[in-house]
Structure 1
Amino acid sequence: MTHQTSTPQQAVLVLEDGRTFRGEPYGAHGQTVGEAVFATGMTGYQETLTDPSYHRQVVVMTAPHIGNTGVNDEDDESRRIWVAGYVVRDPSPVTSSWRATRDLASELERQGVVGIAGVDTRAVVRHLRERGVMRAGVFSGAAAARPVEELLAEVRDAPAMTGADLAGEVSTPEPYVVPAVGERRLTVAALDLGIKSMTPRRLAERGVEVHVLPAAAGLDDVLATRPDGVFFSNGPGDPAATTGPVELLQQVLERDLPFFGICFGNQLLGRALGLGTYKLGYGHRGINQPVMDRRTGRVEVTAHNHGFAVDAPLDGPTASPAGLGRVEVSHVGLNDQVVEGLHLLDRRAFSVQYHPEAAAGPHDAGYLFDRFVDLMTADPEQQKEAGA
């Protein structure tokens, strides 16, 4: 008796410089293009997938085994998966968690996320580290059977991340409120540039009522919430291509409203102050990134997700080119000396490039939410003297 065996379906990852990696389809079948980046977290893949900052990016996971704990309804960071494509080495054949309600492959398929498995992700990451992030496409099923030259042409036709204004594509369409846990102590207007759900929850735990506003909100929208402080979230895209939120932030700073920014919010603070931003070679994404708080000397283990950084002098305070007082670099990445935080000496404002809300961890930087609360409750003149 002759047994017929079917040929497994194929998938291919095509990088902008022409390098290709063959594998098997994972998630939805079809094709997708985006910027190829890598994330280093061994846990928290559900939070990575649903982080709006990964919009229009093909994410390569450095951890070899993905999908072990399945997917649940509690750990999503937003309303959907945002990654453009997903690249893994060994997808788990079983889901092993009492919290799981479905497996990862099925969720990727349900949400139309095209992925590829069985890829030597170490080789992909080494290539990206040497050549820098670049556009990429994942093609599976019938799409993978097309000539590589055709696939490469589609990848190279895809829009680049530099110059991309994407916050409006991931922001909430309507304002909403996250109520304070327990007694309401303060009110914060939070501009949603791609906000993760854990961020307003961290503020709510400290008695803060958070009014989350669309990325297109103006000063009148902010002031209508009668805020004790203003927050700018993380988000995707090139900070140099973002104009409306930068103008809003300048108006916030001119009124000396307490301000805290995370990730994209840090970059926009730099732009509002008149500083430049630039694209990193391959960015910082994932966990266990060491950052020093230069004011205390403390080293924090942090979570990151950014491909752009602020260009600011590291050697002491400098005058803001936009005339908004003195600014200094408060935090610096110890791997490459990238600016990881800013703080104003003459106004009540500070920001960090990394993620203190850090779902699913680490939590070394959670104190920054307390610092923001202190900024909103202390005497303004004392705060200026002490620094944000």
Structure 2
Amino acid sequence: MRRSLAYWNREFQRIESPILRYGFAVVAVAIALGVAFALQHYQFREVELPVLAVAIAFTTWYAGAGPSVVAVLLSSACFDYFFTEPLYSFNISTRDLPYFLIFVVWAGIVASFSAVRRRVEDSLRQTGDRLQVEVEERARREDEIKSLNRELAKRAAELEASNKELESFAYSVSHDLRAPLRHLAGYSELLQKQAASSLDHKGRRYVQTILASAKRMGNLIDDLLAFSRLGRTETRRTAVDLQQVVKEVVAEIGRDTKDRDIAWKIGALPVCYGDRSMLKLVVVNLVSNAVKFTRIRTRSEIEIGCLDGNNDEVEVFVRDNGAGFDMQYANKLFGVFQRLHLAEQFEGTGIGLATVQRIIHRHGGKVRAEGAVDEGAAFYFSLPNAHDATERTGSTP
């Protein structure tokens, strides 16, 4: 019953036609007049006032302000004509004038209260409708977010499985290539030793090319194996003194570059949080690249330092005055087997910077590079500070 009344209440209040609204006022007063006559016939006295007031209240509630005025006027006219002396006349006697005025005032009060309540209910209903729309919209967005999260989790699982398959494939291929490569290099060396006297200059050059290519392929396999092992190696995070790590790397590389004029500039470096062996590999790759690409300079200049300005992370750089690179190809630097220089100019396999990026990403950091052709290059890597490193690297694969 309550739901039915609420339904018809909403349906009546949706009436927009003026004819229906003002017709509702006339019908409501007519019905109230009939009820008043019926009650009067059954000896109920002075009931016309509340009955007509109820008609005015209903008209105000369901039809609005304009029809309520019509209802008040019609009710006043009917009250004067049928219920005040002299009957069946619009004249009002002095004795019945207060009674008539009370009816008019009461009708106005009822109409005003009904109008106020209607406005309040309309406002509440509109607010409820807006809230309902917002709730439905929020529920729809939450469903979309859940669907996207499920799809993202599915894609992440597929990507993780693909990465593991690729790592296993690279590891297996690298192992399978070692045996034939050893045979190739071994028999080439035997041929060089035993048949050197019978080979002409061109033949000896061919054998030397085979040996150099076998050696290069061996280096590629070694680097590929090291790169694939990074995905399976567990990181052991501790406090790492980068200053000490850089000193060790520079000392090791310095022993192999005694015949070169290299000006080292090492600034103050912080203590960070990570796997010491992996971070040392990062420094080795970056410093080795700087040494390699400054070989064309009479005096090589290599600077290692730390940028200031970010309290959440530390950013270390390795800068040199070497061959540099074109910035439009900077996105290729950290790809596997990606090289911007010919092998005849600078040796290498193109895996070192990919290894750097993978290690830094596992530590929750970023890598970037800046440079210009023949003007040197600078490589940057960021690491989280020790106080929030665990939080940032906890979800890093």
TM tier relative to shorter chain: under 0.3
Structure number, greater radius of gyration: 2
TM-score normalised according to structure 1 size: 0.21
| Larger helix share, 1 or 2 | 2
